[in-house]
A and B are shown apart, each in its own frame.
Chain A
């Protein structure tokens, strides 16, 4: 950066270009330790999930009742055949944990996308139109916030069964509020900015303004909220599964694995410690990424 005072005033025209916004972002991103750690965690877990079919030593669904509850390799009778041991049906625990990453990502990402779609649409409309539309959306948000998420999710999943897509749909329908609130307030701020007024004065249609002018400016907040909601959805799914009303067995979901191992907590703590730690680690990674992205997009001091 050249001296900013030189850029203005007399030397206006010969001033060099400052770095582009994306260059600045990269610069900040590279120096952000939390973002680096978070991305590393998320990357590794994602890799485990994607490469599960190649790296998992066994079929995660293959049961063998004669090999039930084998201990992990670090315990007394552990073998390298089953690094993390086996579960109550004799399935390889490591393979199930690896495949579990897929489920967590699948649920987290699709629930966040679903709720993003709902929330962003409502938030955009409310923020842009204001007035009555805003009142209606705000009312929706209040109703949504007034519903206790865990209870309603439990009730709904118990009614419709724990199919993966049902869990995703329920979570999507319950987690859109933060998107709506954030998008609404960001849109309100943007709406009064002159470039939006200018676009209208130039004759841009409303969809063009919403999607072409406003949406690109909302990507930052959406990414931040999105990452937090992915983490939220993963945690919520694991809680539902823990209470027996999440995705159904034999799906290797981490929350379900904790629930299945719960009975053995005092005798074979690996059954819970491993999937529980996997959830915590992934959620931690995603949260770190989310925080990092927020810092990078809106560095303290100026937005």
Chain B
């Protein structure tokens, strides 16, 4: 874990709120001088309360939004100078909501092969072959090929979204709360799948979540965000055993995790 695949240098993003013909816009600092390195092959988790700027950060990393100040380097080059096609092929997203992240008017096959069509280097047959291959990898039956999103369950949809992100063989995958809309059982499957694919395809993940347990389960390193700033960044073990900032401690305290089976206490009864 030496090379930084993606590197944020002092990135800020300011939104102008309101502001019409006769009023001054209000400024909102969604990101405030954030610097962060994403190393090759690691899983970096980003946690923080709602509105702390996690999604804004991911949008900037994906090139969907431009930082107000600072720069993002990919493989040592500024993403502003990188050809868009090359960048999108190597960095792919997975979004939170499996219900809205798939176009309801397209079939699974059309959705998954889209990145290949955009690359424009593959024949029809070739694309179909790769989609089938990927469905296999995702452990989805081939008959799903011509299904529409509305015909699938949330977990299946999220798999399709993962498939779409992986078909162009990217190096970095940015996951913005990929499991928070899912049931625990489905979440477990998706998490496991993501981790298996990581090993198989040699992927680097930026994993955004507000669920500390999930983060502990999969991440190598954790960055904690609060109000547009990174307040703490550490190895996963270090963070959970020795949280440094107050905010992190508070976060850890309010997390609801199932107690270990051994030390279950009838919590409510005793209080």
Among B43-51, B142-150, B211-219, the stretch that binds chain A is B142-150
Of A15, A197, A213, A216, most buried by chain B (CB within 10 Å of CB) is A197
A9 touches B102 (CB 8 A): no
In the complex, how many angstroms separate the beta carbon of A150 from the nearest chain B beta carbon?
Answer: 32
| A18 contacts across to B, CB distance below 8 A | 150-152
Among A95-103, A120-128, A176-184, A201-209, the stretch that binds chain B is A201-209
| A13 contacts across to B, CB distance below 8 A | 139-141
A202 touches B186 (CB 8 A): no
> B47-91: contact bitstring with A at CB < 8 Å (1 yes, 0 no)?
000000000000100111000000000000000000011011100
| A217 contacts across to B, CB distance below 8 A | 103-105
B185 touches A9 (CB 8 A): yes
In the complex, whether B41 has a CB less than 8 A from a CB of chain A is: no
Q: Give the dominant DSSP class at A's interface.
A: helix
User: How many B residues, CB 8 Å from partner?
Assistant: 45
Of B85, B100, B102, B148, most buried by chain A (CB within 10 Å of CB) is B100
In the complex, how many angstroms separate the beta carbon of B2 from the nearest chain A beta carbon?
Answer: 27
> A1-36: contact bitstring with B at CB < 8 Å (1 yes, 0 no)?
000000111101101011111000000000000000
In the complex, whether B97 has a CB less than 8 A from a CB of chain A is: yes
In the complex, whether A62 has a CB less than 8 A from a CB of chain B is: no
Which of A10, A17, A19, A194 sits near B95, CB closer than 8 Å? A194
A-B contact pairs, 23 of them (CB 8 A): A7-B153, A8-B155, A12-B186, A12-B189, A13-B139, A13-B140, A17-B147, A21-B104, A193-B101, A194-B95, A194-B100, A197-B95, A198-B95, A198-B101, A198-B161, A201-B64, A201-B93, A202-B93, A203-B85, A203-B115, A204-B118, A216-B103, A217-B104
Closest 5 CB pairs of A and B: A203-B88, A194-B101, A216-B105, A194-B95, A193-B100
B-side residues, CB < 8 A to A, are 59, 62-64, 84-85, 87-89, 92-93, 95-97, 100-106, 114-115, 118, 139-141, 143-144, 147-148, 150-156, 161, 164, 168, 183, 185-186, 189
